[in-house]
Structure 1
Amino acid sequence: MTADLFLGVDVGTYETKGVLVAPDGRVEATAAIGHAVIFPKAGWAEHDPEKTWWGEVCDVTRTLLRSVSADRVKGVGISAIGADVLPVDERMNPLRNGILYGVDTRAVDEIAEMNYRFGEDAIFEASGNVLSSQATGPKVLWIMKNEPDVYAKARWFVSATTFIVARLTGRVVIDHFSAGLHHPTYDPRTQGWNEDFLDGILQVHRMPEIQWSHEVAGTVTDWAAEQTGLVAGTPVSTGTIDAGAEALSVGVIEPGEMMLMYGSTVFMIQVTENKAARDRRLWAGPYLFPETWCLLAGMATSGSLTRWFRDHLAADLLAAEAAGGQEAYAALATEAAASPPGSNGVIVLPYFSGERTPINDPQAKGTIFGLSLTHTRGDLFRAVLEGIGHGIKQHVELFTEMGALPSVIRAVGGGTKNPTWLQSVSDITGVRQEVPPVTVGACYGDAVLAGIAVGELSPEVIRDWQAGGATVVPDPETAATYRPLHQIYSSLYGATKEQMHRLHRLGY
C-alpha cells in the first residue's frame, strides 16, 4: 500500500520550489526553477504572474509527479511572496505584472497622500501598522492614478498566493496572516477588511475572502488538473505568504519563538501572546492559526544583495562556475572567510532597494563606507554579510526594548549555507541561532498546512519533523570587535539621510 503525500509549492522572489512530504516528515522529492525579477525602473520590482507564478507552479508540480502517482497527493499547500498586488479580471487573467512587496518603492507619493487623508495616527491605531513600501493600499492607489484603464478593468486585486490558489480551485481567498500585511486595509480588531481605509480607493467586493491558512480553499478543478498533473478534486489549503510558511517549516508556533529567514530579504517573525504588542517601527498582525499573533520585521535586501554582488563584482567566479568549477557563492564565501571580523573597517548599509523595518524609508540608499586601496573583494563581500547582520541586530534590540526578547531564534533560508554569515550574525547580535535539520524552506511548511487542511496532521507535528539540527553560538571576543562598528553602522543612516533623499529627488 503506497503512503499518502502532501504537496507544498512556494514561489519566492528568485525561485519556485516544490516538495512532496510523507506524513512522518520525510521528503520524498523536491524540484526547483529559478526566475528573474523585472525592474522596469529604479525602485520598481515586478514578476510576470502568468509565466512565473502560475507557469512555474505547474512546471514544478509536473516535475514532482514524474516520480510518484498523482493520486498519492492528498493535499496541496501554496505560498508565495507578499504582500504584493496583482489586478486580475473576472477570469483571473492578469491585467499587468504583479507589483512586489516592500522592495518595490514606487508608491512613495501615495503613502504620503494616504497618511494625509486618513492620518498617520488613525492608520496605526486601526491597523497596528504604519504605511511603508510594504503596504499594498498605496500601490493599489498608484494603479488607480497611473493606470486607470487597468484599475477600471480589474475585478479583483489579489496577492500571488491568492492568484495561484484561485487558478487551482476557482475560489478567491486570502489567509489572515497575509491579509494582515495588506496595510492599512486589514483590521486586526474585527479580523476583516476595513472599509474606512478602502473608501475612495477600492470597494470591498474587489478584495478576496479571508480564511485561515490551514482551511480548505477548495479542490483542484478539471482545468487545473490538466495544467498541473494533479488529480481533480484534490483539496487545496488557503495557503499564506512565503515567510509564514517558512516560519512554520522550522517549528515557530508558540509565543517567544522567532524565525530569522535568510532569503532574498531578511524576514523575522516572532509569535506573541496577544495582539496588543505593536510598534511603529515593526509590523504586527495575526499569525497562521486562530488566536495567534505575531510581530514581523523585514529588511529590503539580503540574498538579493549578495546576488547583485555576485553578478556585478564576481563575473570571473560565475564564468568559472559555468565552466564546471566551484559554485560562485561558495567561492565568495571562502574569500569572505579570509577577511577578519569587521571586514578591515568596511561597513555596508544594505539599503540597495530602500529599507523596510526598522527605518521604513523607501528613499534610503545603499552605502559602502570606509574603503581604502588596501581592501579586497573578500572584505567587501564580508562587509555585505555583516551589514545585514548589523541590521538584524537593530531588530533584536528593538524586540528587546519592547519586552519581546525571543526565547529561541530558528534560522532558515539559503543564507544558512554560509557558515561565515551565520557566525557573524550571532557574533554581532549576541544571539544563539538554531538551524533545523530540514531546510527545504517555505514549501515544507506548505506541506504541513496541506496535511492540517485534510485533517491528517497538526501544527505540532513539525517539532518531531525538525528535531535536532545545529546551533550557532556567539563568540564573546569577536562580539567585542563588532560593538564599536555597530555604533558606526547605526549612525551612518542619520548622517546621510538628507543626501539620500536628495538623490531620490534627483531621480536616482
Structure 2
Amino acid sequence: MTDSYMIGVDIGTTSTKAVLFNGNGSAINQATVEYPLFSTKVGMAEQDPKEIFRAVQYVMKKCQQIHSDQLITISFVSFSSAMHSLMAVDKEGEPLTRLITWADQRASSVMDSLEENEALQIYQRTGTPIHPMSPFIKLRWLKNEYPDMFQSADKFISIKEYIFYKLFGQYVIEYSMASTTGLFHLENRQWDDEALAVCEIDSSKLSRLVPTTYKLTSFHKQYEQALSLPAETPFYIGATDGVLSNLGVNAITPGVFALTIGTSGALRTVVRKPLTHNEGKSFCYTLVDDYWVIGGPVNNGGIVLRWVKEQLARDVAEEAVTLGVDPYDHLLQIASQSSPGANGLLFFPYLTGERAPLWDADARGSFVGLSLHHTKADMIRAVLEGITFNLYMVYETLEKHIDTPRCLQATGGFSRSPFWRQLVADIFGLEVLVPESYESSCLGAVILGQYGEGTLKSLHAVKEIVGTLHRHDPNQIKHEVYQKTYSLYKQMTNALQPTYKELAQWQKSL
C-alpha cells in the first residue's frame, strides 16, 4: 500500500526543518539541522548558504524515513523561509558574499544618509520599515563597503532564491519574500523603480517575481538521491515564515492575531488590502491574492531569557540540572513567585537593538526601579513582562487600524509555558489560544501548497485542520495592574530612547 504525504520545509535563521504531513494536515515526522551564525565583527550576523543548502537536502530526505516497509509518495513540497536575508552571486550562481541575515546590524551606518521624507515614502509604497534588517538598506551598505563586488554581482538574492536556483536553475522570488525587501511595490506587485534607483541597481539584478502559489517541477536529476524524490515532484515556492505562521495557526480572520515568541518575536494579523503605518512602525507583507499580513517583528524574545539563564541565573540553571528539569521551566517557576509588576521593577529588553516598535538599532536594555528589596524572582519576572510589554507596544500600533481584536494565537517556544501564556493574556487583556500544531510555518507552507494545487478551495479551510490545545482567559484584576504598569513602561521608553544613540556610541568607544 502506498500513502501520499506532503513536505513543508522551513529555512530558519538558526536551523532548517522539514515536516512530513499526511493528507489531513497531521504531522507524521520531522527532521531539523542547525547551523552556525557567523558574528566575528560588531553587528555581523552571517551564514554559509552552501551549508544551508546541504541542510535542506538532509532534512527533506530524513523526514521521509518513517517505516522501512512502507512505500510513500510525496504529492508536493512547499517552502517557508526567514525574511530579509541578502547575498550576492556571480553569473554562475556562486556566492560572492555569505548570507547576510535579518539580524545583521552593520547597515545601520548608512541609515543617516537617507532623507527622512524619502525613506517614509519608500516605506509607504513597499511596506518594509526602513531598518538595517531590510535588503533595501543592506544594498546601500554593500555598495559603500564593497563597491567592486557590488558592481560585479550578477544577482542579489535571498536564501530561498539561492535554494531554488540550485535545484531548478531559475531565479524566482515570490511576492511574499519580495515584499520584505523594501524594493517591491505593494499595489502594483512590481519592483519599485524609485527604491531601485536609490540603491543604484535595476531589476535585472533581482529575481523574476511570481505568486506564492507558483509551482516548479523537474529539478536537476543530480539531487534525486539526496532528496529521495523523483525530479518531477512539484515544488511550491511558498512564502515567508511570518505570513505562513499566521496561516498555520488559523490567524487569517479579522481580529485574530498571531503572537510568536521564540528567539525573537512578532505580532501579526491579516488585512484585505495593503496597509502601512503613518510613521513607518509596522510592516505589510503579501500572502496571496487579497490577503496581506501586517505587524511588527521584535529582536528580543527568548534570546533575552537565554541571557538571563547564562548571566544572571546560572545557579538556577545548575539547580535545574540537579532536579532533572528543564532550566527554562525552572526559571519561569521562580518568576511565578513574584507578583504582577515584579514588585515595582521594569525591564527594557533591548539587548540586541530593536525593530518594532522602536525601529532603533542603537536601543539598549536596562532595569529601571531596581532596589535592595528586589529578588531574583522579581528580576526574572520583570524580564518576561518587559518582553511582553514590548510586544504590547506593537499591538497598540496595529489596534487602531483593524477590526476589534478578539484573541491571540500563540506560537513559538513561549507557548509551551502555561505561566507565560497566562501572563500574556493578562497583559493584553485578550484570550490566548495555543494551536495543536507547533510547526506553524511548515503547516502554513503545505496549506498554501494545497491551495495552489486546488485541493483547498479557500485558505479559511485551515480552521478544519488547526485545533486548539490550550486556552487562557485574562484575569481582569491582573490586567488592570498591568495597564498601570504599562503606562509607566511607555513613559520610560519615551524618556530613554533619545539617549540610545549616544549610549551606543559611548559603548563602541570603550
TM-score, normalised by the number of residues in structure 2: 0.91
Q: CA deviation at 1:88?
A: 2.1
- For 1:62, the equivalent position in structure 2 comes to 61
Change (3 A) 1:10 1:252: same
**Alignment map for 1:384-395 (pairs within 5 Å):** 384-395=383-394
Distance 1:440 1:86, change over 3 A: same
Are the counterparts in 2 of residues 187 and 193 from structure 1 also a CA contact under 8 Å? yes
Match of residue 184, structure 2, among 186, 190, 196: 186
Partner of 2:349: 350
Written as runs of structure 1 = structure 2, the 5 A alignment for 1:228-247 is 228-247=227-246
The answer for the alignment partner of 1:3 in structure 2 is 3
Q: Distance in 2 between matches of 1:461 and 1:189?
A: 27
Q: Which has the higher contact order (CA 8 A, sep 6+)?
A: 1
Aligned-partner residue type, residue 139 of structure 1? K
Report the counterpart of residue 164 of structure 1 in structure 2. Answer: 163
Deviation at 1:290, TM superposition (A): 0.9
- C-alpha distance in structure 2 between counterparts of 1:304 and 1:161, whole Å: 25
Q: Which runs of 5+ in 2 are unaligned?
A: none
SS of match in other structure, 1:234:
coil
Q: 1:229 to 1:260 in 2, by over 3 A?
A: same
Measure the CA separation in 1 of the matches of 2:309 and 2:218. 42
Could you tell me how far 1:194 is from its partner in structure 2? Answer: 0.9
| Contact kept in structure 1, 2:350 and 2:363, CA below 8 Å | yes
Aligned residue in 2 for 1:399: 398
Question: Conserved in 1, the CA contact under 8 Å of 2:275 and 2:294?
Answer: no
Residue 366 of structure 1 is matched in structure 2 by: 365
- Structure 1 position 198 matched with structure 2 position 196: yes
**8 A contact 2:124–2:276 mirrored in 1:** no
Equivalent positions of 1:195-274 (< 5 A) are 195-199=193-197, 200-274=199-273
> Structure 1: which 5+ runs fail to align?
none
Shift of the 58–377 alpha-carbon distance from structure 1 to 2, 3 Å rule, reads: farther
| Superposed CA offset, 1:77-136 (max 9, x none) | 1212111212123343322221121x32221232222336x8234324433454123321
2:9 alignment partner, SS class: strand
Shift of 1:20: 0.4
| 3-state SS of 2:19 partner | strand
Q: 2: CA distance between counterparts of 1:63 and 1:129?
A: 35
- The normalised TM-score by structure 1 is 0.92
What SS does the aligned partner of 2:75 have?
A: strand
User: Which residue of structure 1 lines up, in the alignment, with residue 113 of structure 2?
Assistant: 113
Assess if the C-alpha contact under 8 Å between 2:80 and 2:445 holds in 1.
yes
Asked if 1:139 is matched to 2:138, the reply is: yes
- Verify the 8 A CA contact 1:281 1:358 in the aligned structure 2: no
Letter of the structure 2 residue corresponding to residue 484 of structure 1:
K
Q: Give 1:403 shift.
A: 4.4
The share of aligned pairs that are identical, in percent, is 25
**In the superposition, relative to structure 1, how do residues 274 and 58 fare at CA in structure 2: closer, same or farther (>3 Å)?**
same
Aligned length: 504
Note the alpha carbon deviations across 1:202-228, whole angstroms, 9 max, x for none.
221111112222221444321332333
**CA 61–127 in structure 1, closer or farther in 2 if over 3 Å, else same:** closer
SS of the aligned residue for 1:202 comes to coil
**CA deviation string 1:274-294 (max 9, x = no partner):** 224544243343431112223
Q: Distance in 1 between matches of 2:58 and 2:322?
A: 27
Check if 1:79 corresponds to 2:80.
Answer: yes
Q: Which moved more, 1:399-408 or 1:348-357?
A: 399-408
CA offsets 1:409-449 (integer angstroms, 9 cap, x no match): 21111110112211111111212122111212311212222
* Contact map agreement 2:128 2:179 (CA 8 A) in 1: no
Q: Mark the CA change 1:237 to 1:380 in structure 2 (over 3 Å): closer, same or farther.
A: same
Greater shift, 422-431 or 25-34, is seen at: 25-34
Contact 1:16 1:60 in 2 (8 A): yes
CA-CA distance at 1:305 after TM superposition: 1.8
For the 8 Å contact 1:107–1:133, the answer to whether it is kept is: yes
Q: Aligned partners of 1:280, 1:506: CA distance in 2, in Å?
A: 28
Amino acid aligned to 2:329? A
